[in-house]
Each structure stands twice: as structure tokens, then as C-alpha cells.
Amino acid sequence: GFRCGIVGLPNVGKSTLFNALTKTAAAQAANYPFCTIEPNTGDVAVPDPRLRDIAGIAKSANIIPTRITFVDIAGLVRGASKGEGLGNQFLANIREVDAIVHVLRCFEDDDITHVEGRIDPVADAETVETELMISDLESLERRVVATRKKATGKDKDALAQLPIMEKAIAAIEDGKPVRTIVAGLDGEERRELRNLNLLTSKPVLYVCNVAEEDAANGNAHSESVAKMAETQGAGSVVISAAIEAEIAQLPEDEVGDYLEAMGLTEPGLDRLIRAGYELLELITYFTAGPKETRAWTVHLGAKAPQAAGVIHTDFEKGFIRAQTIAFADYVSLGGEVAAKEAGKARDEGKEYVVADGDVMLFKFNV
């Protein structure tokens, strides 16, 4: 599955957020309960109102959302790249996730110690990022010597990799995380970059943890973070971990009133989960029938056979074609039969690139 790692300095609200994420009723789909894969790892349902629309039309007995995994990666301190604290373990854990959710303290509270003694989320972000950049630079400098040598000998892989390594090194020496070079790379170069598995090339979402009263509109700290995120090609969301912790404990029928009292229209965690999903460049397609309506996750750009393979590897191997109905058509026409009659159920083949919201039915050989 796809994994988002939650990082941040101590006492910024990571655990509060992680616990809310994995305990909230919405995250625990009724018939697919939250499961702990390992300590600090939680498998979370991706909220998607389209599921209910489709299930209503298909008269499905069950709704099964798609899921992503969040990992609470504790142990970051200044000096982590030099092995301080749990530094090495921390960096190794980050290496294993697909994207980083970086929690920043944007709330004032004199009772909660700030490790740096002041509230400054942009400076905090730089502290964490610096550790990651140092680690990337060391790893690049270790590897680039051999790559240069091989490139001189006209080794094809090395020739492809060397310019990307040089660009990554230049970015870090310029004080910038490697993800700032991604926009300027083509598809092949991005693949090379991914193969380097650097820490600062992973997509980042900043989570501004604000006080309850700032949850609806953010504050000056979260605005500074949003600006910083924009310059880096990162995302940012405003959340109050305290509110989310409260919501996670409420019975489901009381959540609406509580949100309204807080000036919110939906739980911040729903936005966080969706933002994480976008950050990972994932899209959803659906299968629908009397038994269940189910959401499935694929990478943006995935073709129909790969989508079928998410359900079962045999579906991918034996793929013949996929009956595909756009979500809007499925809903406006009122389901599969009506969509077929209206000519909106397309027969798609192996080269079809799946669109977000497609309602699909696969035909395959076994």
C-alpha cells in the first residue's frame, strides 16, 4: 500500500494527530476496522462521498473505502543526521515512506515545552529539513564518486544517473530540498531521481497544528507556512490536533454539531487524508454491485490492466477489456443499465488510462 510518514520536532502534536487519525469513526470503515500493522502504523480509510452515491444507485449491501497508511515517525532531534537521539532509525524510517506529512507547531501554549524555546514553524521546518538535507548530501557524495568513474567509462546507467545526482547536490548546496528540482525534470529523469531514494525528494505536506480557535481560518504562523510551502512545491493544511482528538472520541451523530460549533464543515483529518492522497498522486476508481461498492487506488496515469491488477494479479494477467462509466454519467443517468442504454458505458482496452471516478467492470481470462 501507499505510506505517508508523519514527522516533526517533539511536542508539536504528532502523536495527538496520529491517534486521532487512527481512532476516528470515519477512518474505521464499519466492516473494515482499523488495523495496526506494527506499532505506530495505521491503515486509514480515504473519505469519499462518491461511495455513498454509487452504493445508493447500485443498492450495494456494503461500502468499502480505499485506504492509505500513516506511520508515526518519532525521534527527530537536531543532529539526527549525525546519529543524535534516534537519528539513524528516524532517517531509515523516512526512507521507507512514499510521502512526508510534516507537522508544525502553530499553537501557543506556555504549558507545552517547545524544544527550541519559541514558536516559529518556518524555522522548525528548516531545522528538520536541514537534517534531511545533510543526510541526502552525505549519501550523494558517497555514491557520486563511483558514478562519475562509471560515467567516464560510458556506462549507460551511470550516464543517465550522473546529471540527476549533480543537480540534487547543487540544490542541497544551495540550501534547497531536492524536491525543488522535480518540476524541471522530465519523466525519465524523475524516475532516475526516485531511484536515488533521497529523503528531501519525497513529496511533503505541511500540517499546521493550530489552537482550537484558529482551526477555521488559520493564523499568522500557518500563513507563513503556506507561503513557504508554495515556494517548495509542497502542500499545506491547517488542522487543530486538539479538535481532531475530541472528534475521535465523539459518537458519530454528535460530530456534525461539534464541527459547526467550531466553525468547520468537515473534520480536518478528512482534508489531511485527501491531501495525502493527492500528494501521492493517487486516484480512485470504483467497482459497484449488489454485494458492495468499493473504491480502489491507482497511481495517476495507470492503465486499465494495472487497475485490474489492484483487485487481483490474475485480473491483470488475463485482462481483456474494461466496461467503464464516468462517475458523473453513472450518477446522472442512474446506474449501469441506464448508462449502457445511453451509450455511456465505454468498452476500454489495454491502453486505456484510468480517470479518477471511473466505475469499472473488468472482463478477463482465467
Question: Which parts of this chain interact with ligand GDP (CB under 6 A)?
Answer: 8, 10-16, 107, 109, 112, 209, 211, 240-242
Cα separation, 362 vs 272, whole angstroms: 31
Instruction: Considering the complex, state which of residue 81 and residue 240 has its C-beta at the smaller distance from ligand GDP.
Output: 240
Q: Is 12 known as a binding-site position? A: yes
**All cell numbers assigned to 87:** 537519528
Instruction: Considering the complex, state which of residue 13 and residue 218 has its C-beta at the smaller distance from ligand GDP.
Output: 13
Cα separation, 260 vs 216, whole angstroms: 10
From residue 91, alpha-carbon distances to 7, 39, 69, 107, 305 in Å are: 10, 17, 18, 26, 35
Residue type at position 86: L
Instruction: Considering the complex, state which of residue 199 and residue 241 has its C-beta at the smaller distance from ligand GDP.
Output: 241
Cα separation, 48 vs 311, whole angstroms: 19
Instruction: Considering the complex, state which of residue 222 and residue 240 has its C-beta at the smaller distance from ligand GDP.
Output: 240
Provide the minimum distance between the beta carbon of 228 and ligand GDP in the complex, in angstroms, as a whole number.
Answer: 19
From residue 361, alpha-carbon distances to 142, 279, 294, 345, 348 in Å are: 49, 27, 12, 10, 10
What are the φ and ψ backbone dihedral angles of 208, each rounded to 5 degrees?
-85, 110
Provide the minimum distance between the beta carbon of 245 and ligand GDP in the complex, in angstroms, as a whole number.
Answer: 8
Give burial (CB, 10 Å; 0-12/13-18/19+) of 153.
exposed
Instruction: Considering the complex, state which of residue 78 and residue 190 has its C-beta at the smaller distance from ligand GDP.
Output: 78
Contacts of 366 (CB under 8 A, 6+ apart): 314, 318
Cβ atoms within 10 Å, residue 301:
11
Q: Is 16 known as a binding-site position? A: yes
Cα separation, 208 vs 225, whole angstroms: 7
Provide the minimum distance between the beta carbon of 361 and ligand GDP in the complex, in angstroms, as a whole number.
Answer: 44
Instruction: Considering the complex, state which of residue 14 and residue 102 has its C-beta at the smaller distance from ligand GDP.
Output: 14
The count of C-alpha atoms lying within 13 angstroms of the C-alpha of 265, restricted to the half-sphere facing its C-beta, is: 2
**All cell numbers assigned to 205:** 505536506
Q: Is 60 known as a binding-site position? A: no
Q: Is 222 known as a binding-site position? A: no
Q: Is 233 known as a binding-site position? A: no
Instruction: Considering the complex, state which of residue 268 and residue 335 has its C-beta at the smaller distance from ligand GDP.
Output: 268
Provide the minimum distance between the beta carbon of 83 and ligand GDP in the complex, in angstroms, as a whole number.
Answer: 20
Provide the minimum distance between the beta carbon of 82 and ligand GDP in the complex, in angstroms, as a whole number.
Answer: 21
Provide the minimum distance between the beta carbon of 239 and ligand GDP in the complex, in angstroms, as a whole number.
Answer: 8
Instruction: Considering the complex, state which of residue 122 and residue 185 has its C-beta at the smaller distance from ligand GDP.
Output: 122
Provide the minimum distance between the beta carbon of 268 and ligand GDP in the complex, in angstroms, as a whole number.
Answer: 11
DSSP 63-108: EE--EEEEEE-----TTGGGT-TTHHHHHHHHHT-SEEEEEEE---
Provide the minimum distance between the beta carbon of 156 and ligand GDP in the complex, in angstroms, as a whole number.
Answer: 45
The distance in angstroms from the start CA to the end CA of the chain is 25
Helical spans, DSSP H, in the chain = 14-23, 50-58, 87-95, 121-152, 156-173, 187-196, 220-232, 241-249, 252-261, 268-279, 304-311, 313-317, 327-333, 336-341
Q: What residues are designated binding site?
A: 11-16
> Residues within the annotated binding site for ATP?
11-16
